Structures are given as structure tokens and as C-alpha cells.
Amino acid sequence: METKRAPAPALPLVLLAVLGTSQMGCSLWPASWGKPSVSRIFAPQPAIPNPLAVPSSDFEDVWTKCVAVVSKYFPVASENRLAGIIRTDSPMTGSLLEPWSPDSVGFRDRLEATLQTLRKFAVIHVDPGPTGGYLVKVEVIKELEDLSKPDRQPAGRAVFYNDFPVNRTRDIVGPVPSPLGWIRQGRDTNLEQAILAGIRDALLL
């Protein structure tokens, strides 16, 4: 006894159904919809103006927040409320071996501090604004250590001696002598932006 098979749908009808469904799906999205551009996602954040305008009349609150934010990056050395200046100490800049140190922003700054001895310090100015409020200016100065020769390395000699005196030099045990000086390398704008962002967020601007 032969069994009857169900007739297969015609191929043209199937194609028409698929095309109709795709057209309906496209019409459900708004005409202005589009994928976000890659350049918009990875675009850098707009720079924070320096000095930063703070529309607040409470000097104590602005001053306290500035001290709290800058103390996360540097130890505060002095506070002069009459002059409106906050100065910090100048510790050695954090290297790649010190990822917990926040005074290096980005891999390039940490690599630079690893290959040579750098230090930074910050100066914060809190001045009255021309139209009210206050202007908070952040300056981060970067300095390079200046030595007459590499530390704990003997100087090269261009001549040879006939006599060979006994070498009685010994390593110094104790505090390291202070360097000859520091060469100013300009301002660290990346760290300035990080401190300004912290002050802006602390003041809820």
C-alpha cells in the first residue's frame, strides 16, 4: 500500500516569504539608527580647563576638597590659606616596579621614571574668580636628577698608571648623599588633568 507524501512548498513562495520578513524587520528600526563609530568610542576625553572655575562661595569646602585630592598623589608640605597656595613635597616618581604609586599617569610616564630618576611636586592655587566663586589652578612640575657621574660608578680613566696603589674605597653605609641638583623638565599635564578631575568630582561639578 503506497503512502501519500505532503506536497513540498513551492520555492518561489518560500523566497517571497523570506524577503517579506526581512523587509518587515528592517522597517521596525528607526531610520536614524546606526552603529556607533569606533572613533567616537575611543576618542579622548575633553581636557579640563586649568584653572578650573568652581561656582561656590564656601572657601573652606573648596580648600578642604583640594587638599584631600592632592594628598592622594603627593604628601602636602604647606598650606597658605591667605595666599591661597597649597605646596607638596617632591618624592621620587613611581616606576613600573611601583604600580601602586599614583603620580605616574600612563605607561609612558612610568617607563620614563624607570629608566631615569625623576621627581614631581604640585602647586595648587585657589584664587577668587572675577565673577564670583573660585579658580583652582594645578601645576605639576617634573624634575630630572643631575649627577656629575653615574651613582656608585667609578669614573673612566684615559691613562694607565705604572704603580698600582691599593684600592681602599668602601661602600658608604648610611644615608645616601644629596644629589648635586635637579633639572626642570616642564609640567606634567597628564597628572594635572588627573588631579583636576578628582577636584571636579569631589566638588560635584
In this predicted structure, the answer to whether residue 198 has a pLDDT above a threshold of 90 is: yes
Segment 175-197 shows an average pLDDT of 82
Kindly report the average pLDDT of the chain as a whole number: 77
Secondary structure, 3-state, the chain: CCCCCCCCCCHHHHHHHHHHHHHHHHHHCCCCCCCCCHHHHCCCCCCCCCCEEECCCCHHHHHHHHHHHHCCCCCEEEEECCCCEEEECCCECCCCCCCCCCCCCCHHHHHHHHHCCEEEEEEEEEEECCCCCEEEEEEEEEEEEECCCCCCCCCCCCCCCCCCCCCCCCCCCCCCCCCCEEEEEEECHHHHHHHHHHHHHHCCC
pLDDT of amino acid 174:
60
pLDDT of amino acid 146:
80
What is the tens place of the pLDDT at every residue in 15-44?
556 555 545 444 444 544 555 555 554 556
Is pLDDT larger for residue 65 or for residue 146? 65
For the chain, domains (ranges, CATH) are 52-149+180-205 (3.30.530.50)
